[in-house]
Amino acid sequence: MEFAFETERVHKMRRRHVRLTVAAIPGADDERFCVFHTPLLGSLYLEGQGHLDDDCGRCGTTLMRGMRSITGVSGVVFICPSCHCGNITSAVRREALDAAS
């Protein structure tokens, strides 16, 4: 069980920023990949109670806040609302994207 003060402590003391891997944005007709766009600058794709923030690999904009672990979701590309580059969470997927382009 995680108490509210414990969550707050985790946010303050153990917060880590992880840069996602920049990747080519697949074409709209490529059914192997799902491309996500945030609706507004400053919005997040995901927000949780963990200590990891996932940031754009190019400009450092935070795309996901409060993750508990770096979870690989294959076939998903997150477009940064600031610099508009594609971001993925592992080099394995970048290689797949490079092969597709």
Q: Among 11-19, 35-43, 45-53, 76-84, which window interacts with Zn ion (CB under 5 A)? A: 76-84
Q: Least distance (Å) from Zn ion to the CB of residue 68?
A: 23
Give yes or no for residue 82 binding Zn ion (CB under 5 A). yes
d(CA 35, CA 29): 11
Read off φ and ψ for residue 63, nearest 5 degrees: -105, -35
Q: How far is the CB of 80 from Zn ion (least distance, A)?
A: 3
Q: Looking at beta carbons only, is 49 or 82 nearer to Zn ion?
A: 82
d(CA 58, CA 7): 29
- Map residues 53-72 to x or -, x wherever contact with Zn ion holds by CB under 5 A: ---x-xx-x-----------
DSSP state of 20: P
Block residue for tokens 């969470």: 89
What x/- string results for residues 10 through 39 when contact with Zn ion is judged by CB under 5 A? Answer: ------------------------------
Pick the closer one to Zn ion by CB: 9 or 84. 84
Segment holding 96, helix H or strand E = helix 91-100
> Beta strands 76-79 and 34-37: pairing type?
parallel
